[in-house]
Structure 1
Amino acid sequence: MKGFVDDIEDLTESNKDFRRVLYTGKHLQLVLMTLQPGEEIGEEVHDTHDQFFRFEKGKGQVVIDGVSHKIKADYGVIVPAGARHNVVNTGDKPLKLYTLYGPPEHRDGVVRATKAQAEAGEEHFDGVLTEDGPGTKI
């Protein structure tokens, strides 16, 4: 297995897509995200997924079960399974971040340039892992 090895800070800061799935393992998934000024991920709950966020550029707010936290570059956030949460870009520049889902949440390799594209397309994890290549499910 090759795993994933790369400059995550550079990849995150250069990402322009709303959502870009970089790597999907059996128990963990790495996803890049960019939120435009005023944009938000949207309130959500992952009943069976823990989630980690790392913010590389910009500023915003994270809301976890109704409690709001200001965030900026270099902040990390963990959202436990079952917690209602949202990330909002409150700045005037893009908010650049990466997130880790455990277990995976999205289909491997999915790229959505905008939030509208992400909301319009079915992209829930289908069992295909990065290491296995196309068409192989767990």
Structure 2
Amino acid sequence: MKGYVQDIEAIAIQNEDFRQVLYTAKNCQLVVMALKPNEEIGAEVHKLDQFFRVEQGTGEAVLDGVRTPLQAGYAVIVPAGAKHNIINTGTEPLKLYTLYAPPNHRDGVLHHTRADAEADTEHFDGKTSE
């Protein structure tokens, strides 16, 4: 099959890993994430746009210092150059997926924990899923 066609809500909710790259195209990338209670992605700035969709849990989006509560069903678009963070403010895992445009991570990368992600210096190497 060409492309990626799956039940992303179910996949995101079932995901237990901090970060898992599901599909990498030439111009965008699909990643699921699970943040433990009080865990955060970490403040960062990209030279690319990013989209987040929360599927389960509660949290907070921080975009250039502006904090906005999140819950299941919320979407966040982060324009290139904006300092941003997603924080789990709830008592259950915060399950979400994100689209990077263009890709940001190596295709297929899996980080079980945030510590694993921080210890890895991987970045998109130009190789796509197909």
Paired position in structure 2 for 1:116? 115
Q: CA deviation at 1:52?
A: 0.3
Report the Cα offset of residue 58 of structure 1.
0.2
C-alpha distance in 2 between matches for 1:16 and 1:33: 8
The code of the aligned residue for 1:35 comes to L
Question: CA-to-partner distance for each residue in 1:81-138, whole Å, 9 max, x for gaps?
Answer: 000000000000000000000000000000000000000012210001001xxxxxxx
Aligned to 2:102: 103
Once residues 99 and 128 of structure 2 are traced to their aligned partners in structure 1, the CA distance between those partners, rounded to angstroms, is: 15
Bigger Cα Rg = 1
* Matching residue's letter, 1:86: N
Q: Find the counterpart in structure 2 of residue 136 from structure 1.
A: none
Structure 2 match to 1:58: 57
**Paired AA for residue 40 in structure 1:** E
Structure 2 unaligned segments of length 5 or more: list them: none
Query: Which residue pairs with 1:30 in the alignment?
Result: 30
Percent identity (aligned)? 62
Q: Deviations over 1:42-78 (max 9, x none)?
A: 000002x100000000000000001000000000000
Q: What TM-score comes out, normalization by structure 1 length? A: 0.93
Query: 1:41, 1:68 → 2: CA distance?
Result: 14
Structure 1 residue 79 displacement after superposition: 0.2
Task: List, as ranges, runs of 4+ consecutive aligned residues in structure 1 with deviation greater than 4 Å.
Answer: none
**Partner SS, residue 125 of structure 1:** coil
Superposed, which structure 2 residues align to 1:12-51 within 5 Å? 12-47=12-47, 49-51=48-50
